[in-house]
Structure 1
Amino acid sequence: MENEKEVIIIGGGLAGLTAAIHLSKRYFSVTVIEKNEFPKHKVCGEYISNEVLPYFEWLDLNISDIKPTTITKLKFSSTNGTSISTDLPLGGFGISRYELDFYLYNKAIENGCKIIKDEVKNVVFNNDLFEVTTENGLHLKSKIVLGAFGKRSNIDLLLNRDFIQKKSPWLAVKAHYSGEFRSEFVGLHNFNGGYCGVSKVENEIINICYLVRYNAFKKYKNITDFQEFVLKKNPHLKKVLENSKLLFEKPLTISQISFEKKLPIENHILMIGDTAGLIHPLCGNGMAMAIHSAKIASDLVEKFLSNKIKSRLVCEKKYTKKWNFNFNNRLKMGRVLAKLLLHPKLSTILLRILIIVPFALKFIIKKTHGKPILVKYK
């Protein structure tokens, strides 16, 4: 069976669903292909900068409906527990991917988007058209495909993307807890081999998500031992973990997370969200970047399909330029910070400098966060 659609989006995560809502609001036919059920927990820091709020308002998304936690401050600590706190210039909010993705999913359906539970088997571009084949035998055709299939996927292998050929040393662990934690804070705490984010999401739930080098993790039998003998060396993490109760049956994990440079376009597919580039979680802004990338791509897709941009090549060049302008420096800063913070002595020196020169921390925050996403149309 062959269907011609105006836009096919591979992946129904944060970026994919945001783009679907945007394009359907502009009266385009949108099909999203997502292999997982909704709702679903995901490994994620679950903090979003308020830079997205003007765009969410234009999308008719009332985030207050899902009761996010308001976050206004950042606390940063080194492995020995020395810490510094500061106000977040724009502030942000905490919301679980379980709630947010489901909210966006329902909004996309309300807008008329078609969401297919299936897995993409192949994507072929020929004669200025894409043909997308799924595991269940669907054959869909479209002039535009957006890639929103996450951090790594079988499609990355199909496209022979550079980063997928390299083994990554990173492992991420995330779980929800009940317990005491000041809701206005997002905490970023170092430990030997990685760093951990702590913040509240909806319903007073504490989200604890950390990134660790696999070589540091594999010395221990399991997550429980690793947290007991490594994370708890940082007194801030010790306090949170010892006074909280795990709400999941067991923590979620994801391995082979790559922070290598990715191209925002592969085989004429416009990549958005983590598929286009992944910022280190210590920057606390990956969700806002995913949302912003969806807007950039959707704006250009609208112009291309409306013949305001005359050629695919021009559309692709504009997307690459806008992606680099908005995100390249933030990604570079994330890599620099990761190298500093994963070196115990350097992270301690950095923290001492920040204590002496506190405005330097606000400078770092500014370099890893964006400005409010402007919406210039009605």
Structure 2
Amino acid sequence: MKIYDVIIIGGGLAGLTSAIDLSLSGFEVLLIEKDKYPKHKVCGEYVSNEVLPYFKRLGIFINKTNSDLISRLVLSSRRGNTVKVELPLGGFGISRYALDNLLYEKAKSCGVEFKFETVTNVAFENHQFCIKTHTNEFHAELAIGSFGKRSTLDKKLDRDFIHNKTPWIGIKAHYQNDDFPDGEVQLHNFEGGYCGLSKTETGAVNFCYLAHYDSFKREGSVENFNKNIVAQNPKLNSFLSQADLLFDKHLAISQVSFQNKNAVENHMLMAGDSAGLIHPLCGNGMAMAIHSAKLLSEEIKTYRHHQNRNQLEVNYSQIWKQTFRKRLIFGSMFQNILLQPKLTSIGMLAVSKSPYLLKTMIQQTHGKPIL
């Protein structure tokens, strides 16, 4: 019976990045992902430049892609009043279709083994993981869970957050809009939600928003919601009226949860959105997923020398909280402000008079370059 050093469940940013990092350090890694690459996902598709030094160390060079180099943020209230500010670190716009596939190809070249199957059960017995799919059974000393915001595996593991329904739905599509500026990420508020716009490597604009499900349900369809709710913001109305939908239909994900999650569940080490999700308005979820992969990979490398599973789990849980807890708190605060019109108006007035204040707020939800 073959026993892998590490099995990773889920091939998003955290899963792929940790697979690359660990395989480069000599670990035998199996990654199990239900869908083949490339594929589109509901995602803001803006990545903070804080990940670039770490990517470079792993041999991943974003400058060789056609990603949009983003240096400005434009923020608008429901009425379309705007504030523009230069981003402290900047970032890049790239689709998950392209970025995930780039990491997948890199992981394969590093020797990572892939199985495109759905995991049905995970058991930890006799200091070892047994991971089952519909057709196979795999074994490993360590297991990483990077299966996203919400999964049937969360139910299998009986995680606390999975028992609470959440009112958030995410919608995403790519549009062609030749008037959308290069180098800019935009965040526009509307009743019950907010929408991010930024260019991707193809020149298409990623249109991605988070909305309260009750108001979304009342409209009956994405098209009606866009027309009757989203487009009430003059900036979003202008964008939609001049843009052509490039997807056959919008992508959607429901039950998006921002509740606290444990970084370790039944000895499985969680990474990316499986460990914790920052509010999308902060534009840093992708960078956080990549950073969490680095933190976890470093702890696993330390574990290789000391073979103390309990210490690995304690260390990773602590370093995850130390690194991301403040970002999550500030992200929640900023979302609460944006969802309340009076607070949004006060906030917009304050940051319009002092752009430095908005820069400071941005820094609270972003990290420093990952060295």
Give the TM-score range, shorter chain: over 0.9
Alpha-carbon distance between aligned partners in 2 of 1:106 and 1:311, rounded to the nearest angstrom: 32
1:230-283 residue CA offsets vs partner (Å, 9 max, x unmatched): 111111111111111000001101101000010111001110000000000000
Question: Structure 2 counterpart of 1:349, which letter?
Answer: I
1:209 match = 208
Alpha-carbon distance between aligned partners in 1 of 2:214 and 2:32, rounded to the nearest angstrom: 35
Superposed, 1:198-277 pairs within 5 Å as 198-277=197-276
Alpha-carbon distance between aligned partners in 2 of 1:216 and 1:183, rounded to the nearest angstrom: 32
1:346 match = 343
Superposed, 1:26-105 pairs within 5 Å as 26-105=25-104
Question: Structure 1 counterpart of 2:234, which letter?
Answer: P
Aligned residues: 370
1:349-369 residue CA offsets vs partner (Å, 9 max, x unmatched): 111111122211011100000
Question: Structure 2 counterpart of 1:259, which letter?
Answer: F
Superposed, 1:119-130 pairs within 5 Å as 119-130=118-129
3-state SS, counterpart of residue 256 of structure 1: coil
Alpha-carbon distance between aligned partners in 2 of 1:183 and 1:3, rounded to the nearest angstrom: 50
Q: Percent same amino acid at aligned positions?
A: 48
2:184 match = 185
Runs of 4+ in 1 over 2 A off after TM superposition: none
Alpha-carbon distance between aligned partners in 2 of 1:200 and 1:97, rounded to the nearest angstrom: 12
CA offset at residue 65 of structure 1? 2.7
Contact 1:71 1:186 (8 Å CA) reproduced: yes
Alpha-carbon distance between aligned partners in 1 of 2:162 and 2:244, rounded to the nearest angstrom: 36
CA offset at residue 133 of structure 1? 1.1
1:168 match = 166
2:355 match = 358
CA offset at residue 142 of structure 1? 1.0
CA offset at residue 321 of structure 1? 1.1
3-state SS, counterpart of residue 4 of structure 2: strand
Higher deviation after alignment, 221-230 or 207-216: 221-230
Give structure 2 stretches of 5+ with no counterpart: none
CA offset at residue 310 of structure 1? 4.0
Question: Structure 1 counterpart of 2:174, which letter?
Answer: H
Alpha-carbon distance between aligned partners in 2 of 1:225 and 1:150, rounded to the nearest angstrom: 28
Question: Structure 2 counterpart of 1:191, which letter?
Answer: F
CA offset at residue 176 of structure 1? 0.2
CA offset at residue 4 of structure 1? 0.6
Question: Structure 1 counterpart of 2:270, which letter?
Answer: M
1:327 match = 324
1:75-114 residue CA offsets vs partner (Å, 9 max, x unmatched): 1111001110101111000000000001111111111110
1:128-165 residue CA offsets vs partner (Å, 9 max, x unmatched): 111111111x2211111011000111110011001110
Question: Structure 2 counterpart of 1:124, which letter?
Answer: A
CA offset at residue 222 of structure 1? 1.1
1:6 match = 5
1:156 match = 154
Alpha-carbon distance between aligned partners in 2 of 1:167 and 1:211, rounded to the nearest angstrom: 16
Contact 1:54 1:372 (8 Å CA) reproduced: yes
CA offset at residue 66 of structure 1? 2.5
Alpha-carbon distance between aligned partners in 1 of 2:114 and 2:182, rounded to the nearest angstrom: 35
Contact 1:3 1:139 (8 Å CA) reproduced: no
Alpha-carbon distance between aligned partners in 1 of 2:360 and 2:312, rounded to the nearest angstrom: 33
CA offset at residue 345 of structure 1? 1.5
3-state SS, counterpart of residue 202 of structure 1: coil
1:283-342 residue CA offsets vs partner (Å, 9 max, x unmatched): 00000000000000011111212x2x3411111111011101110000111111111111
What is the alpha-carbon root mean square deviation over aligned residues?
0.9
